[in-house]
Amino acid sequence: MMASKLLRLTKSVLRPPVPMPVSSNRLPPIHCTRQHYHNTRSFSSSTTPLPKCTVKFDLPFLFSQMEMAPSMLFTLVNDQELTLTMPGLKQTEDEEGLWLSFDVPNLGLRVLKMYFHGFNFLIQLKTPQIMYLATIKLPQNYNPYGDLKGKCEDGVCYICLPTQKTIDPVLAKANINRELTRPTRYCEMFHRSDIGLRLCGLIAHPEVNSKSFTVYKKDDGESIFMKGNLPGVESIVVTSDGLCVSLDMPGFKIEEVEVGFEYDTMIIEGKREREHYIAGVQVPEGFQREDRLIKKEMQDGVFKATLPRGDGKRLVFSVYR
């Protein structure tokens, strides 16, 4: 009996994506129509095939990420900066239902898509510079027969999930994690062999202009924040001393930071209990590529790694932007 009820409920809330061009600050009531979504975006705008580590950023990407997460918000800025916050959506409830909200600065023209998948509600919002993907577990008192409501004002997007006074017994008993439970794939610290090697392959691709990356993660036990940049946010300059890379790492000690090579990429990795930085810089010919020759410094929260030139005679030009 329980299995059949669960199946019926799943079918009742499974709806196709709803693209909605928005031309004013208030969204009309949402009525679902059958559509197919075609928007697929890569971490790089290159038209040539990229390595397998290329991130496809769309609703199917969100499907693959939302397991065991009560609420998540991804943002992709200009195909260069990818951010994850978990939990990702602010929640308030009133007589209309459960209001979900997230910041959307510089709205401009935008297209909103919403999708029900099992016990999850998914959102995709696209502005000229930023793509937002968000998901949240359905509340126990969710009303599958009500209309969605929404509005965008003062740099915030609001969407209301209809609710009812009584708790749905199937939703209440279903194995749904509505709190940030552990472990999730984002709770484990990434490491050089995981993220570093994948992104090393990406910046080595000839059609990718960016030759550096940085990834930062913070996990305080109640929330998780991750941010990746391509190109990296660090400073890269070529001086008379060699190739100098600087990375803001406030609170870290120099002994908490390791520097080494993966092929032709210099990896800077800092790790402590709740924070983790990893940065990679592709090193051109003309510089030494030996771990023991890297000079490390830490001053006022800024870590600096200097890689000497190869023979002191060859002229090396900066290839970074």
Q: Given this model, what pLDDT does residue 60 score?
A: 84
pLDDT above 60 for 1: no
Average pLDDT over residues 273-287: 89
Cα 84 to Cα 72: distance, rounded to the nearest angstrom: 7
Higher-pLDDT residue of 298, 309:
298
Instruction: Determine which of 3-12, 57-66, 151-160, 294-303 has the lowest per-residue pLDDT on average.
Output: 3-12
Cα 43 to Cα 80: distance, rounded to the nearest angstrom: 7
Q: Given this model, what pLDDT does residue 246 score?
A: 92
Q: Given this model, what pLDDT does residue 201 score?
A: 80
Q: What's the angle, vertex CA 266, arms to CA 265 and CA 270, rounded to 5?
A: 130
Least Cα distance to 278 among 208, 187, 192 occurs for: 192
Q: Given this model, what pLDDT does residue 52 score?
A: 53
Q: Given this model, what pLDDT does residue 180 score?
A: 87
Average pLDDT over residues 142-148: 91
pLDDT above 60 for 186: yes
pLDDT above 80 for 7: no
pLDDT above 60 for 194: yes
Q: What is the 3-state secondary structure (H, E, C) of 202-270?
A: HHCCCCCCCCEEEEEEEECCCCEEEEEECCCCCEEEEECCEEEEEEECCCCCHHHEEEEEECCEEEEEE
What is the pLDDT of the chain when averaged over all its residues? 77
Q: Given this model, what pLDDT does residue 208 score?
A: 80
In DSSP terms, which residues pair with 27 in a beta bridge?
150
Cα 47 to Cα 82: distance, rounded to the nearest angstrom: 20
| Inter-residue contact 298 to 286 (CB < 8 Å) | no
pLDDT, tens digit, 9 for 90 and up, residues 11-45: 222 233 444 333 333 443 333 332 333 322 233 33
Q: What is the dihedral of CA 226, 231, 237, 241, to 10 degrees?
A: 70
The 10 Å CB-count burial string (b at 16+, else e) for 18-38 is bbeebeeeebeebeeeeeeee
Q: Given this model, what pLDDT does residue 55 score?
A: 54
Q: Given this model, what pLDDT does residue 73 score?
A: 96
Q: How many Å separate Cα 249 from the centre of its chain?
A: 20
* Percentage of residues in the chain having pLDDT higher than 70: 77
